[in-house]
Amino acid sequence: MLKVQNISFSYLTNKPILKDISFEISQGTNLSLIGESGCGKSTLLKLIYGLHDLNSGEILWKDSQVFGPAYNLVPGHDRMKYLAQDFDLMPYITVSENIGKHLSNFYPEKKQERIAELLEMVEMTAFANVKAKLLSGGQQQRVALAKAMASEPEVLLLDEPFSQIDNFRKNTLRRNLFAYLKKENITCIVATHDKTDALSFADMTIVLKQGKLVAQEAPKKLYENPTDKYVASLFGEVNELRASVFPSMETSEKTILIYPHQLKISETSTFKVIVQQSYFKGSHYLISAKHEETEVFFESLEGFEVGFEVGLGLVF
C-alpha cells in the first residue's frame, strides 16, 4: 500500500506548493491526479518518487518510508519509476538502447525479449534502431514510457504521459498500457489534464486545487456528484444554474451543476436561451447560448443559427 500522510512542501518557505495532503491506495491501483495548471500535481509525483525532501508528513510504500535527497545519494525510490514531461532520453543512442539502458546484460536473450515486448506495446518496433534525436515528440514520449516500464517497477509515476501523442495512437496506447499494468498488478499514478485518463482508466481520482486535496472519489461518483463547479469543470463544460429556472425542480434560489448532455430541447419549457455559437463535435453539436447574462452550454444533434431562441429542460 502507498500511504501519503499529511505532507506539505514548498520550494520557497513562504509559498507552499502542497498543504496537508493525505491519501492511501492499495497495490495495483490506477490513481489519476487532476486539477488546474500549477495546483501541485507534478510536484506530488516528484515527492512520492523521492526527488524532494518534505517540509512535513511522510510517504510510505509497503510500510517503508520514502526519503528525499537529504537521505539518498541518488534520489528516487528503487522500486518506482517516474516519467517526467521532458522524457529524459539519451539522444545519440537508439530506441532499443534507450529502453534497455538499465536492464541487465547478464541474460542478453531475456533483455532483447523484454525490449521487443515493450516496443510492441508502444507501437515503436519499426523504430528500434533509430536514434532518439531523430524521433518526433510523440515518438519520444512513447519510447520514454517503454523505458520507464522496462525494469518492471512496483509503482509507475506518469506526468502527462500522452500529451504529445496523436489521438490515432493515444487511444490504443492507453488501452494497452493500463491493461498491462492491471495484469502485472503495478500501482500507477497519472498526473493529467485529460478527462479520459481520469474517467475511463482510473480506479480513483484525486482533485487538487491550489495545493490542497479538495476531492477524492471513484471517477464515476466524482463525475456524477461533483463537490463544486471547479471539480465539475475539470471534466468539460458545466453549467451553474438556479434550480428555479426549471419548473420540475424546487423554486429555491440554490444553484445546481448541470453538464451539457443533461439538457434537452423542450418546446414547452419556460427556460429560454439565445444561441451564440454551435460547435460541431462529430456525434453532436455543443451549443453555447445565453440566458439573460448567464452562458449556458447544451448538446444537440443539430446546430442552430446565432440568435435562435430555444427552450431547455432537464434530461433526468
pLDDT at site 248: 67
DSSP state of 150: T
CATH number of 2-226: 3.40.50.300
Contacts with 125 (C-beta within 8 Å, 6 or more apart), sequence order: 116, 119
Q: Which of 185, 229, 175 is nearest to 207 (CA)?
A: 229
Q: Distance between CA 245 and CA 242 in Å, rounded?
A: 6
Contacts with 314 (C-beta within 8 Å, 6 or more apart), sequence order: 246, 248, 249, 258, 262, 263, 264
Q: Phi-psi category of 76—alpha, beta or left, where left has phi over 0 and alpha has psi -120 to 50? A: left
pLDDT at site 252: 63
Q: Do 3 and 24 meet the contact criterion of CB atoms below 8 Å apart? A: yes
DSSP state of 85: T
pLDDT at site 246: 81
pLDDT at site 72: 87
Contacts with 111 (C-beta within 8 Å, 6 or more apart), sequence order: 100, 103, 104, 105
The CATH architecture of the domain made up of 237-314 is Beta Barrel (2.40)
Per-residue pLDDT of the chain (316 residues; tens, 9 = 90+): 999 999 999 987 678 899 999 999 999 999 999 999 999 999 999 999 999 999 999 999 998 999 999 988 888 898 999 999 888 899 999 999 999 988 888 888 999 999 999 999 999 999 999 999 999 999 999 999 999 999 899 999 999 999 989 888 899 999 999 999 999 999 999 999 999 888 999 999 999 999 999 999 999 999 999 999 999 999 999 999 988 888 766 656 788 999 999 999 998 889 999 999 999 999 999 999 999 999 999 999 999 999 999 999 998 6
For cell 463535435, name the residue: 281
Backbone angles phi, psi at 75, to 5 degrees: -60, 150
For cell 445546481, name the residue: 256
| Domain layout of the chain by residue ranges | 2-226, 237-314
